[in-house]
Amino acid sequence: MEVIELKHPLISHKLAILRDKRTGTKEFREIISELSSFLCYEALRDAKLSDVEIETPICKTKGQMLNEDNYAFVPILRAGTGMLDGLISVMPNAKIGHIGMYRNEETLEPVRYYYKVPKDIENREVIVLDPMLATGGSGLDAIESLKKSGAKKIKFLCIIAAPEGIKKIQEKHPDVQIYCTAIDEKLNEIGYIVPGLGDAGDRIFGTK
């Protein structure tokens, strides 16, 4: 599938603030959440709607609604939780799962330490959250774990993506649609996205 890269003047504006090393923790966190809302709107463009009858203050009419119980948001810990509020603001009744990973700084490979998703994950559309799609290792591990649990429709949302990470996921899981607000140039020698925005987790939580 083609990667969906959101293009909008407001997104470009927010990304410039996000990338700036002078941007503080509070503003950084708020922009991550705001961009995540934009990504959620785009990812749900194909959402199935059901006809409903409602009554306005004027009269009865018909509308369309989606079933929020059909969705699950799964952030990759810890940075992915920074995106969660943005999606919950759009769809507050979706179920939440968590996949805990950290990156081995020598091998750059993900190490999983926690995995908890809704029991009926096979009946839901799953949206995986991770601000940075860099080497693709964490995303790949998360997708494979979710498929082993029975998930059939998975989308991957990130703020910044590197070509290397995109390629890895597309080669292994071409059925997973990737959504991002920017595709950056490359990875550097230690696996960070260039130009990127640094370590998203550290900047979200103010730990560096």
Known catalytic residues? Answer: 103, 107, 199, 202
- Residue 70's nearest CA partner among 94, 91, 49 is 94
Q: Which phi and psi (to 5°) does residue 139 adopt?
A: -60, -40
Residue type, 156: F
- Residue 204's nearest CA partner among 35, 32, 9, 3 is 32
